[in-house]
Amino acid sequence: MKNSYAEVDMRRKKIIRILEENGLVKINKLSDELKLSPLTIRRDLNVMERENLVKRFRGGAALIKMAADDNIFSSTLTLHKHAIARRAALFVDDGDTIFINTSSTALILLQYITAKQVTVITNNARATNSKHRDDMIVVLTGGELRLPKEAMVGEFAINNLNRVVAVKSFLGCNGISIDGGLTTAVLQEAAVNELMLTRVTGRKFILADKTKVGCTLSFIYGSINQVSCLITDTEASPGEVGKLRGLIDVIQVEPLVSGVTD
């Protein structure tokens, strides 16, 4: 008998929470703590590994630590980011050339793109190791590599971006609000983000989870009227979302849970 969506959702959130608290955890420990069979735990971990949420090891698993600007996500926030990325991927068409920046959510987008022959131009060095279609072309801007995010910034990156025009952009931010516009916490990334927002012939998407909506940080890289669509989660502030809907398209998504076949 199949479990309901809600049951599977809750179970996998519990698994992520245990991994967050304990680091690498053995399947037997998860089985004992959650009162579930090892087979069910393995099945869940397999699905979560395909979604790039966990890394499997012999007899156990560990939570993948994403980009440094987000630290270790809470289970709900991780699933929201994947849901946002998967929804955004539906807007990528065959043959598109797109920009993505160093946002962890934008990086997740690559694994959900099903369109063929897509070219991704990014200043995120981690994109070279991300899951994506074999026919996807990933082009790095080059530039000064700043750790721990592996962000490429500076004049070299800017000069290369000035030679390129993309069809669409899918950018993250540290803050999006009516008053503050699009903001980042990192000065060196602002100029690169600005170019990825302006050197686009088509739609400009902002991918931002609930923690970013309504926030304003130190460095502005764009205004709300430059944005075509915000893709966020269902837990974003209703008041802030309402304000933004008056100016741009807003899509809200539920947290991602796939493989509900247990």
**Strands of 60-63's sheet in order across:** 25-26, 60-63, 54-57
Are residues 166 and 200 in contact, defined by beta-carbon separation less than 8 angstroms?
Answer: yes
The torsion angles phi and psi of 30, rounded to 5 degrees, stand at: -60, -40
Residues of the chain with CATH 3.40.50.1360: 75-253
* CATH architecture, domain defined by 5-63: Orthogonal Bundle (1.10)
Please report the pLDDT score of residue 53 as a whole number: 77
Please report the pLDDT score of residue 259 as a whole number: 41
Please report the pLDDT score of residue 70 as a whole number: 39
| Crossing angle (nearest 10°) for helices 104-112 and 75-89 | 50
User: Both tokens of residue 27?
Assistant: 């399947």
CB < 8 Å & 24+ apart, contacts of 77-80: 77/209, 77/210, 77/211, 78/16, 78/53, 79/9, 79/12, 79/13, 79/53, 79/255, 79/256, 79/257, 80/209, 80/210, 80/233, 80/235, 80/253, 80/255, 80/256
CA atoms within 13 Å, Cβ hemisphere of 239: 2
Beta bridge partners of 153: 144
Rounded alpha-carbon distances, angstroms, from residue 140 to 67, 165, 181, 211 = 17, 14, 26, 28
Please write the tens of the pLDDT for every residue from 199-237. 999 999 999 998 899 999 889 999 999 999 999 999 999
Give CA–CA dist 38/28, Å, rounded: 6
Are residues 197 and 219 in contact, defined by beta-carbon separation less than 8 angstroms?
Answer: no
In which residue ranges of the chain is pLDDT below 50? 1, 66-74, 258-262
Q: What is the pTM of this model?
A: 0.72
For domain 75-253, is the CATH number 3.30.70.1230? no
Are residues 118 and 92 in contact, defined by beta-carbon separation less than 8 angstroms?
Answer: yes
Residue 153, SS3 per DSSP: strand
Residues of the chain with CATH 1.10.10.10: 5-63
Rounded alpha-carbon distances, angstroms, from residue 93 to 89, 110, 168, 234 = 9, 13, 10, 25
Are residues 233 and 250 in contact, defined by beta-carbon separation less than 8 angstroms?
Answer: no
Rounded alpha-carbon distances, angstroms, from residue 81 to 20, 142, 207 = 17, 26, 8
